[in-house]
Every structure is written in C-alpha cells, then in structure tokens.
Structure 1
C-alpha cells in the first residue's frame, strides 16, 4: 500500500504474514541519508543487526554480469530499497553506515553481494578489499555451522521456513525481472522488502 510517492521516492507498507514492513524506495541520496539517520537512532535495541540484500538484472549472455541495481537494508520493520543504479549520487552516509565496525550485516550469500557492491560502487572498507569494514555474516554458513545443516538447497526461503515458520513466495517472473527499471513494480517492491526483512529477522535468531 503506497503512502506517498514521487518520481524518485515512494513510501509504503508491505504485508508479510502478520508483519507490516514500512518501506522507502528511493533513488534520492537525501532519503537514503534520512533513513540511515532515523535507523541509527534506534539500532541499539536491535542489537545492531542489519539485514542486507541486493538484486541485479539477470544476464543471459555467457561471461556478462550486470551490476547491482538495488540495495536493500532492513532494521526492525523499517526497510530501505535504494535504486543505486539509477541514483545520481551515492551519499557518504551510506559508505559510513556499511563500514561501521559496530554493525553486523546479515543475509543469505551476503559475501557475494558485498563483493559486487565494492566492485561496482566502491563501498568497501579502507583496505580496498572486496569486503566491508563492518561485520558480515552469511546466514547459510551460520546455520550450517551451528546446526550442522547441509548447504544443499539452503537459502533464504528455506531458512525462513525453518527458523521463522514463514515461507516467502519467490515467483520466477519477479526474481528474473528487470531490477534496473526506473520505477519498480509493486511485486518487485514486495519481494525486495520481504527478502531484506527476512535477512534481518533470521539474523536476530542465528546471531
């Protein structure tokens, strides 16, 4: 349900089971900075865990990989979808947020996501390696390490079912859609919000 919107920014609630996720979708660096400012003011009660996910337009050409199109962040029931590929400017506040050593970013297969963020947008730490200065925890690896699970078939959907008793829908028409669209569809926004929300929620369980 959209609450407010213009060409660069939309705010809305996304429903998932009994949860309402307040989502900001934006290309505007000012809204990114505002979201980060509001989030950091309340992050301590969430143990400084942040769900992180990214999406990019699939490539069907061998050896060709498209850059990240959107970055999703979530703390509590507040999510940000930053359309980074369509942004005119990436604010320093985002760099500082991603590289705060007091924060732990969680997601399924998150190390690949981080490498792509660094590769395409230079959002890594001062060592210029393909990583963030913040702590980064792969939820799949965490589940395997703690519970001895098999990594085969273990992704965000399976983790959500196992640890939260909730299973997100992941229709192929959305997962393989064009994430570089200037205006994301409602289905894309729902999908991206829920993935970031689950990355946070499962992180709170496993860490």
Structure 2
C-alpha cells in the first residue's frame, strides 16, 4: 500500500498556479515519506523513476478524491497512476456508512482512526508555494500522507 495525497493549494497573495493544479505530491510507504514539489519542476516531462513508481502495479495508491487527483497528475504533470483506491469509498463500504463516501481526510481520520489532524493556517499553507519548504511544513505534509496510509492499512488490514 502507498498513500497518495495531493491537495491543491489555496490562492496566495502572489500569482498562483491554477486552482486545479497540484503543487505537492505526498507519498508514504510505511513510515517513509516523500514530499515532491510538482510546481518547481523544470519541465513538463516527469522524472522516469517517479513515473515508473506511480505506474508500478505492486503498489496501490490511496487517498481522498483520488480519481480527481490522478486526473490532475496526468493532465497537468504527465504522471500516470496504475492502481488507486479512494479512501472515502473504501470507508463507506467497510463501515457501511454512505456519508463517508464524500468524506475528507479529517473526517476519515476521526471515523476510522479515532484521531484528529491538526491543520495549517492560511499563512502556513501559502508557504507551501516556496521553492524551499520549512522543515515544519515538510513534517506536516508527511503527517497527512501517514494518515492516508494508516487509514488504508486499517480499512484493508
């Protein structure tokens, strides 16, 4: 299992990418995380190793609203994901609760893990546009990816 968490960012005071683009790709396998800044790549061609990893059938990528994230990764960044599961759909089926189908990560963490996620404020989220991320923002991005991974692990045992 591998989580893929790809939140679009809110509009900062500077010129942002379009709302529907993804600025960060947050991956977690077990306790190992990678935060990859898609916004600061030099060209449209994705790194071969990243594309190979996302296309590797041995991994199932999990996240919230994962179909839209996969579409955005393909359209805006040329990245393809072979196998994915939406955590809202999985939680809805496993817990037999239709309301979880459209749940966000915060609600899924509360319902599946009985834990809350501390969120960044607007100013901190704007800092995610910077080329060099402050360590506390890298840590926060990893926490989100770990929650995604753990929710998937719990749901699929």
Q: Does the 8 Å CA contact 1:106/1:138 hold for their aligned counterparts?
A: yes
CA separation of 1:137/1:175 partners in 2, compared to 1, >3 Å: closer, same or farther? farther
Q: TM-score, normalised by structure 2?
A: 0.82
In 2, Cα distance between equivalents of 1:205 and 1:115: 26
Moved over 3 A (4+): none
Choose from 100, 108, 120 the match for 1:159: 108
Match runs of 1:1-207 below 5 Å: 49-59=1-11, 64-88=18-42, 90-124=46-80, 132-133=81-82, 135-149=83-97, 150-151=99-100, 154-173=103-122, 176-207=125-156
Report the number of matched residues: 149
Structure possessing the higher relative contact order (Cα contacts under 8 Å, 6 or more residues apart): 2
Please state whether the residue corresponding to 2:49 is helix, strand or coil: helix
Q: TM-score, normalised by structure 1?
A: 0.64
Q: Which has the higher helix share?
A: 2
Q: Does the 8 Å CA contact 1:59/1:66 hold for their aligned counterparts?
A: no
Q: Return the offset for 1:111.
A: 1.4
In 2, Cα distance between equivalents of 1:181 and 1:68: 14
Task: Identify unmatched segments of 5+ residues in structure 2.
Answer: 13-17
Please state whether the residue corresponding to 2:58 is helix, strand or coil: coil
Deviation digits for residues 129-171 of structure 1, max 9, x if unmatched? xxx22x2000011111222221377221222222223211013
CA separation of 1:120/1:175 partners in 2, compared to 1, >3 Å: closer, same or farther? farther
CA separation of 1:139/1:175 partners in 2, compared to 1, >3 Å: closer, same or farther? farther
Q: Return the offset for 1:123.
A: 0.9
Please report the RMSD computed on the Cα atoms of aligned residues, expressed in angstroms.
2.4
In 1, Cα distance between equivalents of 2:128 and 2:61: 22
Task: Identify unmatched segments of 5+ residues in structure 1.
Answer: 1-48, 125-131
Structure label with greater radius of gyration: 1
